[in-house]
Amino acid sequence: MWTALLSASCALSAAASARLEPIGDVALVGEVAAASDISAAARLGRFLALGADEGVGAERDVTVIQLFERTGADRWRLHRTVPVFQGDKRDGRELDLEAFAVDGDTLYAIGSHGRKRKLTDPDSRRGTNLKRLRFDGIERERSREHVLVLRLGENGALEERDRFSLRGEIANDPVLSGFRATPSKENGVDIEGLAFRDGRLWVGFRGPVLRENFVPVMVFDPEDHDDYELRFVQLGGRGIRSLEAVSDGFLMIAGPVGDGEDGFQLLRWDGVDMLPGAGAELGRVELLGAIASAPGARPEGLAVLAEDAAGYDLMVVFDGADANQVAQRYRASR
């Protein structure tokens, strides 16, 4: 059992042995909302759905989802911009949208459910910056603690909207509860992955990354989210930055929990729990390659365009990228 865990860890540490280079830029025709902050992508019928973790508008308090329709091999034209969340001063201005999952005509969109701390400012007094590092410098915005359930019509119009929160499950979970008051980029609770498979939502955490590099994944029926299970996957010290269901399990982007320099990797997980136990069959993670990207661009969203026996055609979207490099295509072999 421990040999299997060690083998998985060694395989992930060999990221330099496989490097995924983009095979082409993706042209997004039309104004991309919050283009430098794209964090989520998904295929939704004939559309590509994109979302950012920052709001738009004068107060930056409106979260929108944009639907792009394919007009060429690597060309997508803006079809519709759909406002889906309105923040406020009391609960927070933004959803902090991090991921999508698709079930037929239903699009799930999830906020990070995390807390934040303001960055230090080199032009401010040291005492001011020290206050930001104290416990009372941690901020909670309840607007981040939502899962949106969006049902879209054939033409992409929003026909029905609902939402729920995982704050209660996180607060009462014996593993996650100890991390909920910690800022998300300091190994606190931070959701960045979401997938739909076999009638259940799979919620992937960027943080916390636990001892022995276990990363939690929350699995539940969206109609009964308080009845969930936690599974654990080992990503060599990284957290989940994107999660996508495929025919043989899940693809995921793994990356640093905080502001570290660890690179980003594309991996395939079979969906089986990797937490050891007597008689347990452990899940497997396979490294497909390190994701090459432009300086400052962080791969945050993943959409599967097609898959076959040999591999996967992928679109990866980037947070912090130049406007013409928001999305790029990759090919990953099985």
CA pair distance 193, 134, nearest whole angstrom: 29
- The pLDDT score that the predictor gives to residue 280 is 87
pLDDT digits (tens, 9 = 90+) for 248-300: 999 999 999 987 767 999 999 999 999 999 988 999 999 999 998 778 889 99
Collapse the DSSP code of 157 into the 3-class scheme (helix H, G, I; strand E, B; otherwise coil) and give the result.
coil
Partnered with residue 149 across adjacent β-strands are: 108, 162
Tokens 């739909």 found at: 196
Distances (CA, A) of 210 to 5, 78, 101, 177, 249: 15, 41, 25, 13, 23
Give the range of the structural domain holding residue 105, as residue numbers without chain letter.
2-333
Cα–Cα–Cα angle for 122, 125, 131, rounded to 5 degrees: 100
pLDDT digits (tens, 9 = 90+) for 111-143: 999 999 988 899 999 999 898 888 888 999 999
- Phi and psi at 130, nearest 5°, equal -65, -40
- The pLDDT score that the predictor gives to residue 8 is 52
All residue ranges of the chain with pLDDT < 70 are 1-17, 261
138, 117 Cβ separation under 8 angstroms: yes
- The pLDDT score that the predictor gives to residue 12 is 54
287, 297 Cβ separation under 8 angstroms: no
CA pair distance 122, 69, nearest whole angstrom: 44
CA pair distance 244, 101, nearest whole angstrom: 8
- The pLDDT score that the predictor gives to residue 322 is 81
SS3 of 19-30: the string is: EECCCEECEEEC
> What CATH number is associated with residue 143?
2.120.10
Please count the structural domains in the chain.
1
